[in-house]
């Protein structure tokens, strides 16, 4: 098979030919990155345009539709000529003149005759591929289509034969005589950002790691498990358990929020924590008691900085019955192991209120070094200004600190066994 698609009269550019590409690998990459597409076809002599989902399997593009829709009805009588377009917008180009404003983008156009997928095995495989595209493994983690589903859904197949890709990259292209104009010019990058996921009411399952965006390791709240505690990716479904576990004002005394006293209020608080995943700046976990499965608290990474390979551990709240137990030590050990051993962090740090001596002592016991005080760093919920104590641990300090934490947990387990 050739590395390029053949040029045809429909895929040959009339302008900006330098932006046209026929590279097979490039076209595949654009189709695989994009979730949706636009399908153009003709019904009764009139043009129609339909937005839908697409997935590429080898050299076939599968399109999702309704068996009762215009395209689904049209293709029942045989193949239908279509043009499929996919576009990824990468930036908006601001020029000094109107005419040279533009966009950076990557796009693919496919021409051909779409056929209705009638073979049951091919149809089920195509539907599974469509579902897996929104999260690898999702097809196995959801119900397979039954007869009614298959009857109501049409899947169209379009062979990738007449294919062209077009792309623009780079900066502003202005006329030489316009370069001295006093107008700002430049490129505004456009990025697609996922999350935070909004869990449906009644769902008790943890947010799956295969959701788009979760593959970014520094922003992925992967499940972490120890002997005393396990850390589950935080969801709104943990709200009721957290209201019960954290129903003590003393727990919230030094936290930057008032205690949510109802489930709706806790859901609002959690939604604010989860919203930081939009920017990849914070990921949060619910702390679960390993033996009972009871929700006992929450914690998070925040101020995540992959470029400098640094992050903070904080926004931690644990119910009073679990204070000064192995839970906090083990939870921090799990987070530190993930940060240093998996993510390759160079530095982990903590912020705490200068009045919170209990927190400062707990952080110091982890092996962190008190680095200084940020004066008037943040406002407390009552409006007063907080001086913040900063603790840090570096990658060089981590191995010895990790060994001490594991020894402490092992000693605590031995004492508990002897007492039992």
The domains located in the chain, with CATH, are 17-189 (2.30.110.10), 217-419 (3.40.630.30)
Model confidence at 214: pLDDT above 60:
no
- The three-class DSSP label of residue 359 is helix
For 313-356, the pLDDT digits (tens) are 999 999 999 988 889 899 999 999 999 999 999 999 999 999 99
The answer to whether 378 touches 406, Cβ cutoff 8 Å, is no
- Least Cα distance to 213 among 272, 276, 267 occurs for 276
What kind and span of H or E run contains 229?
Answer: strand 229-233
- The pLDDT assigned to 203 comes to 87
The answer to whether 290 touches 228, Cβ cutoff 8 Å, is yes
- The pLDDT assigned to 194 comes to 72
- The pLDDT assigned to 177 comes to 96
DSSP secondary structure string for all residues of 240-263:
HHHHHHT--GGGGTTSSSPPP-SH
- Least Cα distance to 244 among 232, 262, 230 occurs for 262
Name 111's bridge partners.
83, 162
CB neighbourhood size of 351 (10 A): 21
- Least Cα distance to 199 among 237, 169, 165, 168 occurs for 237
| Across 276-293, average pLDDT | 82
Parallel, antiparallel, or unpaired: how do β-strands 229-233 and 162-168 relate? unpaired
pTM of the predicted model as reported, rounded to 2 decimal places: 0.57
Place 278 in a pLDDT band, splitting at 50, 70 and 90: low
Average pLDDT over all residues of the chain:
90
Q: How far apart are CA 294 and CA 50, in angstroms?
A: 48
Model confidence at 281: pLDDT above 60:
yes
For 164-188, the pLDDT digits (tens) are 999 998 899 999 999 999 999 999 9
- The pLDDT assigned to 241 comes to 94
Max mean pLDDT among 18-22, 278-282, 300-304 falls in 300-304
Q: Is 348 exposed, middle or buried (0-12, 13-18, 19+ CB in 10 A)?
A: buried
Q: How far apart are CA 279 and CA 260, in angstroms?
A: 25
């Amino acid at each position: 098979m050739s590395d390029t698609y053949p040029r045809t009269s429909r895929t040959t550019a009339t302008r900006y030919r330098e932006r046209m590409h026929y590279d097979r690998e490039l076209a595949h990459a654009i189709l695989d990155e994009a979730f949706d597409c636009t399908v153009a076809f003709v019904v009764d002599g009139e043009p129609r345009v339909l937005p839908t989902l697409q997935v590429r399997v080898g050299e076939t593009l599968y399109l999702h539709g309704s068996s009762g829709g215009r395209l689904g009805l049209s293709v029942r009588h045989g193949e239908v000529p279509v043009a499929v377009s996919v576009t990824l917008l990468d930036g908006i180009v601001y020029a000094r003149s109107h005419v040279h404003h533009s966009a950076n983008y990557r796009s693919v156009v496919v021409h051909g005759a779409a056929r209705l997928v009638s073979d049951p095995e091919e149809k089920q495989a195509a539907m599974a591929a469509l579902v897996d595209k929104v999260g690898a493994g999702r097809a196995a983690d959801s119900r397979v289509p039954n007869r009614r589903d298959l009857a109501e859904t049409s899947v169209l197949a379009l062979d990738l034969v007449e294919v062209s890709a077009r792309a623009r990259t780079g900066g502003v292209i202005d006329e030489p005589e316009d370069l001295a104009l006093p107008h700002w010019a430049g490129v505004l990058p456009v990025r697609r950002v996922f999350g935070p996921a909004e869990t449906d009411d009644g769902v008790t399952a943890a947010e799956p790691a295969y959701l788009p965006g979760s593959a970014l390791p520094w922003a992925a709240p992967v499940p972490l498990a120890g002997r005393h505690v396990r850390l589950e990716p935080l969801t709104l479904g943990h709200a009721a358990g957290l209201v019960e576990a954290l129903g003590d004002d003393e727990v919230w005394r030094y936290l930057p929020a008032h205690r949510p006293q109802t489930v709706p209020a806790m859901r609002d608080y959690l939604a604010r924590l989860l919203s930081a995943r939009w920017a990849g700046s914070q990921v949060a976990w619910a702390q679960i008691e390993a033996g009972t499965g009871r929700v006992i608290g929450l914690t998070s990474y925040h101020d995540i900085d992959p470029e400098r390979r640094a992050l903070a551990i904080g926004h931690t709240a644990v119910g009073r019955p679990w204070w000064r137990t192995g839970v906090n030590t083990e939870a921090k050990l799990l987070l530190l192991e993930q940060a240093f051993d998996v993510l390759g962090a160079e530095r982990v740090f903590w912020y705490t209120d200068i009045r919170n001596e209990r927190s400062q002592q707990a952080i110091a016991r982890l092996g962190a070094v008190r680095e200084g005080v940020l004066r008037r760093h943040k406002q407390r919920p009552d409006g007063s200004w907080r001086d913040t104590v900063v603790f840090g641990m570096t990658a060089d300090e981590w191995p010895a600190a990790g060994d001490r934490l594991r020894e402490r947990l092992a000693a605590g387990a031995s004492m508990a066994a002897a007492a039992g």
